[in-house]
Amino acid sequence: MKNLVMFGVLTLSLTACGDKGDSGTDRTADILALSGDSAAGETVYTANCSGCHGADGSGSDSFPAINGSAASDAFVNLVLDGAGSMPGFSSLGDQDIADVFAYISTL
């Protein structure tokens, strides 16, 4: 988990130099057009998200609850680019991100 967070922080600081808003916009539309598989998304979630948002997505004092959240423009952009202390996950595949939202929306 620590390595993943470090990787995320590194990715975020690298992408911060580029035009991350625009690069995210095309991918966001592609991701929203995919249909997610919640079973596959559980694996993505456990590996990348549960450390902060909790195994059941209910968050903690430091991290928001995301259980029940469906994919949207704003949320997909946030996952790609990061926000605040959340690292960006643009290294995940488009299908992985569609899958993880399919899973979160079932929590």
Binding residues for ligand HEC, rule: CB under 6 A, are 5, 48-49, 51-53, 63-64, 66, 69, 75, 78-79, 83-87, 89, 100
Decide whether 20 or 89 has the Cβ nearer to ligand HEC.
89
Q: Which is nearer to ligand HEC, 29 or 74 (CB)?
A: 74
Q: How far is the CB of 21 from ligand HEC (least distance, A)?
A: 16
Where do the H-state alpha helices sit in the chain? 2-15, 20-33, 38-48, 50-53, 73-81, 94-104
Residue whose Cβ sits closest to ligand HEC = 84
Least CB distance from residue 82 to ligand HEC, whole Å? 8
Question: 25-60: string of b/e by CB count within 10 Å (b at 16+)?
Answer: eeebeebbebebebebbbebbeebbeebbbeebeee
